């Protein structure tokens, strides 16, 4: 079986995790970044060809199987479609894009070129998350009544300094960059939204970001489940909580910790979630931490799909639904 050849565009913090895993699952043949020092550092470390523009990479590299898109959110559409049109499969970091129309165009490009488009949604692999998803799918807890999602993190002003972060054009908003994984889990577990009423504000980052740093939303799903979303990046000095609580006919369960990585509470009729495996740690970016580092599961799925005919665990259509839900929340908050 031929070794898969990968390339990375965007050699920033999350790309380091991609590069490490690619070296385990295949070969990192090429890297690209508009900042030469970043591209050269990664390229030299992994003995990869080094490029400073995607156009040059696509023109020169004819044996790349998969491009990992790790660029700013607002560039995902452009870079993904270019790679698909060049005959590569694509792994796109979250969020898939910051406009649902862009997501649709990415999906159409994948279908037109008969290539696979993988969207990174690694929190689905957190052990307590997979256990609760199974609980819901099997109907063990009975009818779901309501849910509460809390996302309380810290991103100080230094996080946004001299960066694309905080801009509407390339970042898009706190729900896109910090909490799209959490929104994905709402859709994955409970389906699409029917109604939303949201309020947002910028309290601590007025001079450094172009959107909200805090928001609340009351939501109703198509299924009739109601819920709330509370999110902020103003948790004092450090991340506090990432949690999902579910109230159902035959049970109550809370996934908590800072990153939806701990089973904090359960009371379920005739059932107990137990013997959960230890999950991976959070992605550590030096001055701050992000979501759980389950990218190994993402790459296992890529190899399974491309070499063994497996099924994509997070489809591009699901990635688009996350963006659509975030758009609904932001549209509501504008009125």
String of DSSP letters for 212-236:
-SEEEEEEEETTS-EEEEEEESBSS
pLDDT tens, residue by residue, 77-110: 999 999 999 999 999 999 999 999 999 999 999 9
How many of the other CB atoms lie within 10 Å of CB of 100? 18
pLDDT cut 90: percent of the chain above it: 92
Q: What is the DSSP letter of 163?
A: S
Higher pLDDT, 277 or 23: 23
| Residue 289: both structure tokens together | 């931490």
Q: How far apart are CA 9 and CA 15, in angstroms?
A: 8
User: Radius of gyration over alpha carbons of the chain, in Å?
Assistant: 20
How many of the other CB atoms lie within 10 Å of CB of 148? 15
| Residue 324: both structure tokens together | 């659509």
CA-to-CA separations, 186 to 43, 247, 296, in angstroms, rounded: 38, 14, 22
Is the Cα dihedral 156, 162, 165, 168 positive or negative?
A: positive
| Residue 236: both structure tokens together | 């004092």
Strand locations in the chain (E): 5-9, 27-32, 49-51, 66-69, 89-92, 117-119, 144-152, 193-201, 214-221, 226-232, 241-248, 251-256, 262-268, 282-284, 289-292
Tell me the whole-structure pTM to 2 decimals. Answer: 0.94
Which of the listed CATH numbers 3.40.50.720, 3.30.43.10, 3.30.930.10, 1.10.1060.10 matches domain 5-122? 3.40.50.720
How many of the other CB atoms lie within 10 Å of CB of 47? 10
pLDDT tens, residue by residue, 28-67: 999 999 999 999 999 999 999 999 999 999 999 999 999 9
Pairing of strands 144-152, 226-232: parallel
For the packed helices 127-137 and 180-190, what is the interaxial angle rounded to 10 degrees?
20
Residue 168's pLDDT is what?
97
Residue 288's pLDDT is what?
46
Q: How far apart are CA 114 and CA 111, in angstroms?
A: 5
pLDDT tens, residue by residue, 305-323: 999 999 999 899 999 999 9
String of DSSP letters for 186-210:
HHHHH--EEEEEEEEE-SS-TTT-S
Domain locations along the chain: 5-122, 124-279+316-333
Thinking of the domain 124-279+316-333, which architecture would CATH place it in?
2-Layer Sandwich (3.30)
How many of the other CB atoms lie within 10 Å of CB of 132? 23
pLDDT tens, residue by residue, 185-202: 999 999 999 999 999 999
Confidence class of residue 286 from pLDDT cuts 50, 70 and 90? low
Residue 283's pLDDT is what?
46
Confidence class of residue 1 from pLDDT cuts 50, 70 and 90? confident
CB burial class (10 A; 0-12, 13-18, 19+) of residue 122? Answer: buried
SS3 of 244, please?
Answer: strand
Residue 2's pLDDT is what?
85
| CB distance 189 to 130 below 8 Å | no
Residue 280's pLDDT is what?
53
Confidence class of residue 300 from pLDDT cuts 50, 70 and 90? very high
Q: How far apart are CA 215 and CA 202, in angstroms?
A: 9
pLDDT tens, residue by residue, 259-281: 899 999 999 999 999 999 875 55
pLDDT tens, residue by residue, 145-163: 999 999 999 999 999 999 9
Residue 279's pLDDT is what?
57
Mean pLDDT across 289-317: 88
| Residue 31: both structure tokens together | 């890297």
């Amino acid at each position: 079986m031929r070794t898969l050849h990968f390339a990375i565009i965007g050699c920033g913090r999350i790309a380091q995790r991609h590069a490490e895993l690619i070296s385990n699952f295949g070969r990192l043949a090429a890297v690209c970044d508009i900042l030469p020092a970043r591209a050269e550092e990664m390229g030299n470390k992994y003995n990869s060809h080094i490029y400073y523009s995607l156009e040059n990479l696509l023109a020169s590299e004819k044996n790349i199987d998969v491009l990992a898109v790790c660029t700013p959110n607002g560039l995902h559409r452009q870079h993904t479609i270019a790679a698909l049109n060049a005959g590569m499969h694509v792994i796109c970091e979250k969020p898939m894009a910051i406009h649902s129309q862009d997501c649709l165009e990415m999906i159409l490009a994948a279908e037109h070129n008969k290539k696979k488009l993988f969207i990174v949604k690694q929190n689905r692999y957190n052990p307590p998350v997979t256990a609760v998803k199974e609980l819901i799918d099997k109907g063990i807890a009975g009818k779901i009544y309501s849910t509460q999602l809390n996302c309380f993190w810290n991103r100080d002003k230094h996080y946004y300094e001299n960066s694309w972060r905080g801009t509407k054009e390339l970042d898009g908003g706190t729900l896109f960059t910090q909490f799209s994984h959490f929104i994905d889990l709402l859709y994955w577990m409970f389906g699409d939204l029917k109604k939303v009423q949201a309020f947002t504000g910028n309290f601590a980052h007025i001079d450094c970001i172009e959107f909200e740093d805090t928001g609340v939303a009351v939501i109703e799903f198509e299924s009739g489940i109601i819920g709330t979303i509370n999110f902020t990046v103003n948790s004092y000095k450090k991340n506090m909580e990432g949690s999902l609580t579910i109230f159902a006919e035959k049970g109550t369960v809370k996934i908590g910790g800072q990153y939806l990585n701990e089973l904090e509470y359960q009371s379920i009729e005739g059932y107990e979630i137990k013997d959960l495996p230890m999950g991976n740690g959070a992605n550590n970016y030096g001055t701050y931490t992000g979501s759980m580092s389950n990218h190994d599961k993402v790459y296992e799925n890529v190899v399974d799909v491309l070499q063994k005919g497996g099924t994509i665990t997070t489809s591009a259509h699901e990635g688009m639904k996350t963006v659509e839900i975030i758009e609904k929340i932001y549209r509501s908050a504008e009125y």
